[in-house]
Amino acid sequence: MNDRIPAEAELAWEDFHRLVNMTSDELRTWLLTDASGEEAFPAEPETGVSELGVRVVDLLRKRKVDLTDGDADVMRQVVDYVEDHLDAPPPDGASNERWRHELMTVGHDPLRPEPSSA
């Protein structure tokens, strides 16, 4: 078994964890709530649960040493999605419920304060 973390996963890990500010349990609960409370996990197409959000929940539960190149692809997709949304916020910002909810489906709550760096 190769204990090395794929280089792409290593690079994506930091950005992913900088932008995803919800825990796996918070995101899982949010996804289920957002899908009208359906108790279906992992995502089933008819439940409306975000497939990308489900992948984020799985990634948040992984250790860095268990990452794959496929995980790196998902992390980059999430980083791009969040950064694109943050670069073009609506005029009313985080108080725009639809915009906030779109970000929350991949684990970023724009209303959550950023952690202070010590």
Q: What pLDDT score does 32 carry?
A: 87
Q: What pLDDT score does 35 carry?
A: 61
DSSP 88: S
Task: Name the residue type at position 49.
Answer: V
Q: CA–CA separation, 24 vs 85, rounded Å?
A: 21
Tens-place pLDDT, residues 44-92: 444 456 899 999 999 999 998 898 888 999 999 999 999 999 999 999 9
**Domain ranges within the chain, ordered by starting residue:** 7-105
